[in-house]
Amino acid sequence: MIVGYLEYVARRLVRMVLSLVVVSALAFTLLQLAPGSFADIQRANSGSTGMAGAGAQEVAGEFATRYGDEVPAWQQYLVFMKGALTWDLGPSYKYPAQSVESIIAQGFPVSAALALLATTLALAIAIPIGVFAALKQRTLWDSGSMFVLTLGHALPNYLTAVFLVLVFAGAWHVLPAAGWNGPENLVLPVVALAIGPLAVLARYVRSSMLDTLGEEYVTAAIAKGGRPGVVIRKHVLRNSLIPLVTVTGPMLAALMTGTVFIETMFRIPGLGLSFTQAASSRDMPLLMGTTLFFAIILMATNLVVDLLYGLLDPRVRAESGRKLRGPRISRRDIPGADPDQGGRSGVPSLG
Amino acid sequence: MAFISLWVVALLVLVAIFAPLVAPYGTQETDYGHQLAPIGSPGHLLGTDTLGRDILSRLVFGFRTALLVAFAAEVISVLVALVVGLLAGYRGGRADGILMAATDIMYAFPTYLFAVLLVTVFGRSFWSVMAAIAVAGWVTQARLIRAQVMTLKRRDYVEAARSMDAQGPTIAMRYILPNALGPLLVTTSFAVPAAITTEAGLSLLGLGISDMPSWGAMINEGVRYASSAPHMIISPAIAFAVTLLAFTWIGDGIRDAFDITSEARR
Amino acid sequence: MSRSTSPVTIDPQAPLLEVSGLRTGFRRADGGQFVAVDDVTFRLEQGQALAIVGESGSGKSVTIRSLLRLLPRTASILGGEARLAGIDLIGASDRTLRRVRGREVGMVFQNAMEALNPTIPVGRQLAEALTWHGLCSRGEARARAITTLGDVGIPEPERRARMYPFQLSGGMRQRAMIAMAIIAEPRLVVADEPTTALDVTVQAQVLDLLAEIKDRGTGLIMVTHDLGVARRFCDDVLVMNQGKVVESGRIDAVLDSPREPYTRMLLEATLEVGDVAATPPEAVEAPVREPLLVAERLDKTFRSRGGQTHAVRDVSLAIRPGRTLGLVGESGSGKSTVARLVMGLHEPDSGRVLLDGQDVHGEESRLQRRRMQMVFQNPYGSLLPHYTAGANITESLRLQEIGTTGERTERAAELLRLVGLSPDDARRYPQQFSGGQQQRIAIARALAPEPDVLVCDEPTSALDVSIQAQILDLLGEIQERLGVAYLLISHNLAVVERMSDEVAVMKDGAIVERGERRAIFGDPQHPYTHQLLDAILPVRGSRMPRAAIA
């Protein structure tokens, strides 16, 4: 079993590297298609981004020495990838004084901190709500909390942020509307980021709990004379929270990379903001670098999730040695499609 | 809830179709002297923005944009997903390999970032925004259809059909496809509000369609003036929220309807 | 080990279990009540075993689950009394009931794979039944879990206790679950279809184990649809139908001389090996004709990432026109794969299938294949849910472009009549029919292109015995009228004996024995065939001819 598991890990790693090569090549090709090629983009863009003529010249020179003038695109790609392997992504176009890797190194901790705080907040609230709603299935508690969660689920985080800003910054003046100066600047962005995932997670916990409660082994545990609390703790909670890993992991990864809107709206100097600015100013090296970095983060998270799932669930562990592909179609693929089926009758009343 | 939402959405769609008749002003018409008119001003029901443009008119046309992009993107992504998903699920082999590779790659890009990248490259036109949304969406739906087809393929009735000497295309089109459409309808109904969200999101970042009014752009501007002129953001935000909720509840309704039938069948 | 003083008051003089007037209802979606258990009364003495038998929907499972209040939320006990050694179960507080569950009453479920928690090692799940009742310390509980696993016949119990349920074989899992039910030494063990999911040879072992538990003085209630299982060691029987007790009494008396028409019907519908042998052979034997369908040295290996399964090894078969070949074996024996190879649904690795001398798998096989049709185990799953019954029946004709629409409608009506349904049923959808009716439709569909061979894969395994008898009768009639040959695949020896002219016994992908039906059942040669026949549980005390019961 151990050997199979290790082999599985190794194969997943190989596949991840292959995907990264494809992703980088694809992104590079796409950027080549943009008006103005990768290396001489600065000419096409100088002036439009408000950069001083002298500075543009200087950068142009730097680019020419790094990527070579008038060389085929695939050679530029090789140069870029060679640099990427040694964590040397070259200078940014927009901020010629800074290298792409230093921009990422500055921005990522900010985005990651937001994402971690938001995920923790979401989990801390979602699990109790989901568990409670499942145990009180078909009561006002259940339908009420699920109704409220639909609101959080349906609205994108930037819209939630708008409402939060209107209330807490606009009407009550208790929190700053934007900026990045202290802990008080964290509150609104983190809450805005957490609400969507919270809704998804709570619904997931609820339906997962209901599934587990309907299992025969729960009935069997009750038949052994277990107290409701013990049965729920030992047999229901564990088994219904294990699959949560598969949802939480990608969610955390998406938040780490996808805080774009929130960072833009609240003017937070994270990686998302850099990415957006790179896109609107056509800063190709920065775009390329961040894209690759995001891809690594997402793939690594998916890998960790699958491996963790295997460690937590003995069945998956036993199987992972044999099958290459983890359970990848998860609830997040089907927005809002977590099955809160109404008519479940197989759930025994505990107690 | 789903029923009320259906009426709301029907009304909204009508408004979008007959936008020029509904909207009191054009989207670029400016009313000098009446900049930043508040809600309820005479002639401007929802007020005006910093340039004196009528907010209600911009809302109406903005919704038209969102709906147009969302539906066009969904039609394309569903069609592509249907073909690839059916092939991958039924035939397996190379089609399946391609879908798997595409999935790996698509999952390496967060949806928004991919859309941002595409729009950066191909410009801020209607087509590139729509394509960005469609490209970002088709993999998920193709995988869903693939999973559905693979389940249905193992059903006894498919084996029964094979024993009646039905050939592959017949089986796929006559027996598998009709039974795979339910879940597809459910995801599509959720994908429409998601596409609307993406379209507005791109505009919010300043990467939306450059020559069409968008809710995202209105929210972007509104946020900037949130403290001095909150009316600029309140009505777009509320209209946006209501629209998304209505679509989501319709999706919920469709999902529940399919859940019931699938349960009753078993 | 001595029992610590029980926290609930036990009256040793009282009968072990006394149930009277028990009524349990389910809340319907429309707000009404569906009474699943209606006025059930019975009594069980210490060390006795009671069988509750009935077809699906008879309320037998709900009855025993009502005793421990292991009911779905929508169900509630409407009335009646139940006393376990003097303890009132119906009126008991949740606290009292918890002390009864597991401690005084152990429960065995139908499917151990579902009744054991997949993420907790088996030993720990057993130990819970002790520690939850405060019967001993954690360490002692672990030790006793290992002892009990050994007691139920699991080899290497220490190692097995650390394993997860999915790592055990089916038979071992079932034993582990029984161990979990008896570890706290309850007065009463309640078993809900404990062997239904098992193969006959494993079933025999599990029943031996339950009989042993009974011999130790534990009371036993066994819920089953299988009268043979009930008779194996039960003293009394309760026959249930639609929530009500139809008949009860000593099991020998009830099964040998039933008083109620329902019990009689149930017994009559129950097939037993030996029934056919007792009937006198037909006066006129049909002349032996050349085989219609021949399978020669079929071999098939399935490859997957996990390795390979040699599903069919060198299997040869021959079926004569208008006759039936029964293929019998346990699950995993490869019998269904043989059916699919014969039908041309799988390609064999080697060997060939000839119909009238022509290769079924060849290029020119399409016309040939239409002459073979198949009937599946799960009737609903094999019908297209989005087609009407009529469209399902005529689909093969439509595919082959045989006849006009009118002629096909005509044919559907004719076939529906043939299988005992009304032509009006053509317009209804599969889900509007009962399981037995769905199987009739599936048979009609298979007959539509006028096949010469019908491959029937476990055609009655998903059906209740009374329905099974009807479907088998129908298949018999059809063969007589149309002269269709059958390849009948079944795990049920009685079904095979009833239907077949010749029989082949499969084990691990190969045919171990074949021959005339009477030879196989009367004078088996292979030890495996012996083992299968020995595992059969007789329903009627002496293998009486069926006529004597009616």
Does pLDDT of A213 surpass 60?
A: yes
| Whether residue C220 is found in the same domain as residue C326 | no
Q: Which amino acid is at A342?
A: G
Per-residue model confidence as pLDDT tens digits over A276-292: 888 877 777 888 888 88
Could you tell me if C132 lies within 8 Å of chain A, comparing CB atoms? yes
Name the domain count of chain C: 2
Instruction: Give the strand pairing for C188-192 and C219-224.
Output: parallel
Higher pLDDT, B230 or C109: C109
Distance CA B210, CA B125 (A): 6
Q: Collect all residues of chain A within an 8 Å Cβ-Cβ radius of residue C105.
A: 223
Q: Left if phi > 0, otherwise alpha if psi is -120 to 50, otherwise beta: which for B228?
A: alpha
Per-residue pLDDT band for A195 (boundaries 50, 70, 90) equals: very high
Query: Lowest-pLDDT range, A17-21, A35-39, C15-19, C411-415?
Result: A35-39
CATH of the domain at C117: 3.40.50.300
| Whether residue C262 is found in the same domain as residue C331 | no
Domain that holds residue C340: 293-371+451-549
Residue C507: beta bridge partners?
C510
Per-residue model confidence as pLDDT tens digits over C219-254: 999 999 999 999 988 999 999 999 999 999 999 999
User: 3-class secondary structure for chain A?
Assistant: CHHHHHHHHHHHHHHHHHHHHHHHHHHHHHHHHCCCCCCCHHHHHCCCCCCCHHHHHHHHHHHHHHHCCCCCHHHHHHHHHHHHHCCCCCECCCCCCCEHHHHHHHHHHHHHHHHHHHHHHHHHHHHHHHHHHHHCCCCHHHHHHHHHHHHHHHCCHHHHHHHHHHHHHHHCCCCCCCCCCCCHHHHHHHHHHHHHHHHHHHHHHHHHHHHHHCCHHHHHHHHCCCCHHHHHHHHHHHHHHCCHHHHHHHHHHHHHHCCHHHHHHHCCCCHHHHHHHHHHCCCHHHHHHHHHHHHHHHHHHHHHHHHHHHHHCHHHHHHHCCCCCCCCCCHHHCCCCCCCCCCCCCCECCC
Task: Determine, yes or no, domain membership for C155.
Answer: yes
Closest partner residue to B164 among C380, C399, C455, by Cβ? C399
At the second CATH level, the architecture of B44-261 is: Orthogonal Bundle (1.10)
Task: Determine, yes or no, domain membership for C482.
Answer: yes
Task: Determine, yes or no, domain membership for C126.
Answer: yes
CB interface of A with B, residues 2-21, below 8 Å: 15, 19-20
- Calculate how close chain B gets to A149, using CA atoms only, in Å: 11
- Calculate how close chain A gets to C41, using CA atoms only, in Å: 22
- Note whether B107 contacts A302, CB cutoff 8 Å: yes
pTM beyond 0.95: the answer is no
Per-residue model confidence as pLDDT tens digits over B187-230: 888 888 989 988 888 888 888 888 888 888 888 888 878 777 88
Per-residue model confidence as pLDDT tens digits over C348-393: 999 999 888 888 876 666 667 778 999 998 888 889 988 999 999 9
End position of a domain, from candidates C235, C269, C303: C269
Most confident range (mean pLDDT) of B1-15, B91-105, C107-121 is C107-121
Per-residue model confidence as pLDDT tens digits over C456-515: 999 998 899 989 999 999 999 999 999 999 999 999 999 999 999 999 999 999 999 999
Most confident range (mean pLDDT) of A51-55, A178-182, A221-225, A336-340 is A221-225
Task: Determine, yes or no, domain membership for C93.
Answer: no
Tell me, what's the pLDDT at A53?
A: 47
Q: Collect all residues of chain B within an 8 Å Cβ-Cβ radius of residue A23.
A: 105, 108-109
Q: Collect all residues of chain B within an 8 Å Cβ-Cβ radius of residue A264.
A: 204-205
| Whether residue C344 is found in the same domain as residue C462 | yes
Query: Lowest-pLDDT range, A331-340, B173-182, C152-161, C219-228?
Result: A331-340
Name subunits touching A (3+ CB pairs < 8 A). B, C
Per-residue pLDDT band for A62 (boundaries 50, 70, 90) equals: low
Mutate to test the interface with B, among A174, A331, A334, A341 (most CBs of B within 10 A): A334
Task: Determine, yes or no, domain membership for C145.
Answer: yes
| Whether residue C211 is found in the same domain as residue C353 | no
**Chain A, nearest residue to C92 by Cα:** A351
Does pLDDT of A123 surpass 90?
A: yes
Does pLDDT of A329 surpass 50?
A: no
Tell me, what's the pLDDT at A27?
A: 82
Task: Determine, yes or no, domain membership for C399.
Answer: no
Query: Lowest-pLDDT range, B94-98, B262-266, C58-62, C184-188?
Result: B262-266
Task: Determine, yes or no, domain membership for C539.
Answer: yes
Computed over every residue of chain C, the mean pLDDT equals: 89
3-state secondary structure of C293: strand
Per-residue pLDDT band for C448 (boundaries 50, 70, 90) equals: very high
In chain C, % of residues over pLDDT 70:
93
| Whether residue C356 is found in the same domain as residue C505 | yes
| Whether residue C297 is found in the same domain as residue C265 | no
Task: Determine, yes or no, domain membership for C153.
Answer: yes
Interior CA angle at C220 toward C219 and C222, to 5°?
165
Tell me, what's the pLDDT at A328?
A: 32
The residue ranges of every structural domain in chain B are 44-261
Shortest CA distance to A198 belongs to which of A297, A129, A249? A129
Tell me, what's the pLDDT at C7?
A: 58
Per-residue model confidence as pLDDT tens digits over C478-494: 999 999 999 999 999 99
Q: Collect all residues of chain C within an 8 Å Cβ-Cβ radius of residue B260.
A: none
Tell me, what's the pLDDT at C544?
A: 39
| Whether residue C118 is found in the same domain as residue C161 | yes
| Whether residue C252 is found in the same domain as residue C363 | no
Could you tell me if C74 lies within 8 Å of chain A, comparing CB atoms? yes
| Whether residue C241 is found in the same domain as residue C326 | no
Name subunits touching B (3+ CB pairs < 8 A). A, C
Asked if the interface predicted TM-score (ipTM) of this complex is over 0.90, the answer is no
- Calculate how close chain B gets to C430, using CA atoms only, in Å: 9
Does pLDDT of C3 surpass 60?
A: no
- Note whether B157 contacts C395, CB cutoff 8 Å: no
Higher pLDDT, A322 or C131: C131
Interior CA angle at A216 toward A214 and A218, to 5°?
75
Per-residue pLDDT band for A28 (boundaries 50, 70, 90) equals: confident
| Whether residue C258 is found in the same domain as residue C297 | no
Per-residue pLDDT band for C283 (boundaries 50, 70, 90) equals: very low
| Whether residue C242 is found in the same domain as residue C140 | yes
Tell me, what's the pLDDT at C366?
A: 66
Does pLDDT of A346 surpass 50?
A: no
- Note whether C396 contacts B179, CB cutoff 8 Å: no
Computed over every residue of chain B, the mean pLDDT equals: 83
| Whether residue C460 is found in the same domain as residue C311 | yes
End position of a domain, from candidates C237, C269, C301: C269
Computed over every residue of chain A, the mean pLDDT equals: 77
Q: Collect all residues of chain A within an 8 Å Cβ-Cβ radius of residue C120.
A: 234-235
